[in-house]
Amino acid sequence: MDASVILFYVISVLLVLSSLMVVFLRNVVHCALALVVALFLIAILFVMLHAPMVGVLQVLVYAGAIMVLFLFVIMFLNPTASEPRRKLWWGFGSAAALLLAASLAALLSNGEAPADPVTATETFGSPETLAKSLFTDFVLPFEITSVLLLVAIIGAVVLAKREP
Amino acid sequence: MIVDIGIVAVKAFLVLFMVLNLAGILGWIERKGSALIQDRIGANRASVFGFAGMGLINTLIADPLKFLTKEDFVPPEGDKFLHTLAPCMTLFTALVTFAVIPFGDVLVLGERVINLQVANLNIGILYVFAIGSLGVYGIVIGAWASNNKFSLMGAVRGSAQMISYEVAMGLSVIGILMVFGTLELQEIARGQGTLIRDMLPESAGFLRSTVGRLPAWGIFLQPLAFLLFFTAAVAETKRIPFDLPEAESELVAGYHVEYSGGKFLMFFAGEFAEIVTAAGLMTTLFFGGWQVPYLMRDGFHFPWGEAVVLPHLAVTALQVGAFTLKVIFFCWLQILLRWSVPRFRYDQVMRLGWKMLLPLALLNVIVTAIVIIALQ
Amino acid sequence: MVPLDYYLILSAVIFAIGVIGVLVRRNLIVVLMSIELMLNAVNLTFIAFSRYLASMQGQVVVIFVMAVAAAEATVGLAIVIAIYRNRQTPLVDEYDAMRR
């Protein structure tokens, strides 16, 4: 029961709580802020898993840019319509039960993955190793992703433009 | 183990102490400095037993007392929890950024070598940008919770400006990262201790004898990047000339119009803490951080051959003192800038960020890459 | 050390919560946020496996997933703005023009 296990339990409880808040809160702005907290906690988990570069990119890109975009749209649109809550309870009950069953199946079915991680070198997950991997083995997906982002920017501008 | 945690706690306390005190003193410099520039006297009425201390009593004691004893007012339709959370987020992100900025080289106590930096992350500068991008939330949430159209407009402008200049800020730093080859701020500060002469190859004889005598500070290696970073940092902290989000004459104080008392003090302190952070980053990346020119770990080594030996504690004290002086200089420079130039119009701000800073930063990266390859 | 199974269960639970959000909520923006939650659960699985198998590929894939998620969120929100301008409501139940 050393410090990392306790930290993991604390963070996972907070993470599940904030995800539940994302899904179940009524006010959309509160949902968005709960999602920011959830993303930040996941970034902490990434750093615990020896992926500091991916963790800080998660905060920079996801929590820092994408969620700001969400909040922008919420503030602009100011959606005040409240949703009906009545007839969907059994829908969510069955969906929740089904997928939690699937997650328990995942627990029971893996015996080959090592329970203890391979001792990581000092540079595992550091910017150097990540960049080396990204620009040598994965250079083609990298270039294609940049084109994808360009297409997404153009698409978003075209879709959200006001008709003159 | 306990001693390690204790040392980190002491360092964190020291850094917080310095930043918050500097933020308070900056408030005083702003009031008295602006009064000097505008040929008036400034605040000097509050006094203790007749001692008014050039406005120090007023700014550092009377004003905080006034703020803290005001009524805590949340707008009636506003969101109470978010209204209280927003200034906390601004102040938190402004203070936490200072964790990776090195304020000295090493302090050797007995056999323990203490790195004078609160947290030595291997992702260094990216941590600063990540926390900076979280700083947008303070504004957005604060304005939303105020339920006020002026606040909302100020917040939309402010957050759009902040995320635009984050891009320019990040790209302008890439040149420095390429030259020093690392993301860690302590390594960048240490790398600026060599002379430029040692970074050039043997063949560039002429360059080595003229420019090569200078220390390898970022300002000499990347002057354009410094200008871009300075502009982007001032825009990030929403100081004049980029302060349309909180324009006092147009938007009735923008996104913190519904804030009074302690929460406004937190916004205010957060803004000054951001000034200190921007100054800290500028000194670390471009002006050698804690480096004194020609001062190595055992004393001065001048390029013309002379060497002065100094004890270790004196060297460390000189370096920490140099860092503090440089940070104060850049804070003063930002305050001077505020009272010297008029503010930009909003479309001018956006055009500057996207159409001028971004292409220049990309150009800087390309030219730096060409020069580095040519000099190898 | 935290065993790998714990990370897998955690990410499965987060994924399930995201699925609940997509199925139950009627507000389009909350649906998009639940999709982001599901993507993050998958990212967590990738990083956990990357750590436990000592391979960098998981982390590189996560970077691509993040980039694609950013693109998808952008276009999705642009669609939300366009639909809102037309229908004046964010509830997906009201988007029934093709049904009538």
Q: How many CB atoms lie within 10 A of CB A28?
A: 22
Structure tokens at B373: 């390859």
Distance from CA of A114 to the nearest CA of B (A): 27
Q: Would you say residue C45 lies in a domain?
A: yes
- Give the pLDDT confidence score for residue C60 in this predicted structure: 94
Range with lowest mean pLDDT among A89-98, B268-277, C4-13, C40-49: A89-98
Domain boundaries of chain B, sorted by first residue: 79-374
Judge whether residue B140 has pLDDT over 60: yes
SS3 state of residue B121 = coil
- Please answer yes or no on whether C63 and A153 come within 8 Å at the CB atom: no
Do residues A138 and A62 touch, judged by C-beta distance below 8 A?
A: no
Measured CA to CA, the distance from residue B180 to residue B197 in angstroms comes to 15
The average pLDDT across A2-31 equals 91
- Whether B27 has a pLDDT exceeding 90, the answer reads no
DSSP result, A61-124: IIIIIIHHHHHHHHHHH---PPPP-STTHHHHHHHHHHHHHHHHHHHHH--SS-SSPPPPPTTT
Q: Is residue C80 part of a domain?
A: yes
Band (B328; pLDDT cuts 50, 70, 90): very high
**What is the reported pTM?**
0.90
Q: What is the ipTM of this complex?
A: 0.92
- A58 contacts in C (CB within 8 Å)? 43, 66
Res A83 pLDDT > 70: no
Supply the pLDDT for residue B64: 85
- List strands edge to edge, sheet with B299-301: B295-296, B299-301, B307-309
Of the candidates B136, B133, B128, B241, the one whose C-alpha atom is nearest the C-alpha of residue B188 is B128
C53, part of any domain = yes
Q: Compute how many other C-beta atoms are within 10 angstroms of the C-beta atom of residue B168.
A: 26
Under 8 Å CB pairs connecting chains A and C tally to 246
Q: How confident is the prediction for chain B on average, in pLDDT?
A: 85
* Helices vs. strands in chain A: H and E counts, helices first: 7, 0
Is position C48 within any domain? yes
Instruction: Please answer yes or no on whether A16 and C13 come within 8 Å at the CB atom.
Output: yes
Yes or no: say if A62 and A39 are a contact pair by the CB < 8 Å rule: yes
Inter-chain CB proximity A73 and C77 less than 8 Å: yes
Residue in chain B lying closest to A130 (CA): B123
In a domain, C99, yes or no: no
Three-class SS of residue B343?
coil
Mind telling me how many Å the CA of A103 is from chain C's nearest CA? 5
Banded model confidence at residue B58, pLDDT cuts 50, 70, 90 = confident
Task: Tell me what pLDDT residue C43 has.
Answer: 95
Does residue C97 lie in a domain region?
no
Where in B229-373 does DSSP place strands (E)?
295-296, 299-301, 307-309
Q: Are B237 and B275 in contact (CB under 8 A)?
A: yes
Q: Which residues pair with B307 in a beta bridge?
A: B301
CB–CB contact A59 B152 (8 Å): no
Q: Is C86 inside any structural domain?
A: yes
> Which CATH number covers residue C48?
1.10.287.3510
Closest residue by Cα to residue B225 from B188, B187, B273, B264: B188
Q: What is the CATH number of domain A1-79?
A: 1.20.120.1200
Q: Which residues, numbered 4 to 33 in chain A, qualify as contacts with chain B under a Cβ-Cβ cut-off of 8 Å? A: 27, 29, 33
Record: contact B156-A75, CB cut-off 8 A: yes
Task: Answer whether B129 touches A (CB < 8 Å).
Answer: yes
CB-based burial, C7-45: b 16+ in 10 Å, e otherwise: bbbbbbbbbbbbbbbbbbbbbbbbbbbbbbbbbbbbbbb
Contact between C59 and A130 under an 8 Å Cβ cutoff? The reply is: yes
Provide, rounded to the nearest whole percent, the portion of chain A with pLDDT above 90. Answer: 47
Tell me the two tokens of residue B361: 């930063």
pLDDT in tens, A100-159: 767 766 776 665 555 555 566 667 778 888 888 889 999 999 999 999 999 999 999 999
- Identity (one letter) of the amino acid at A90? W
Domain boundaries, chain A: 1-79, 122-164
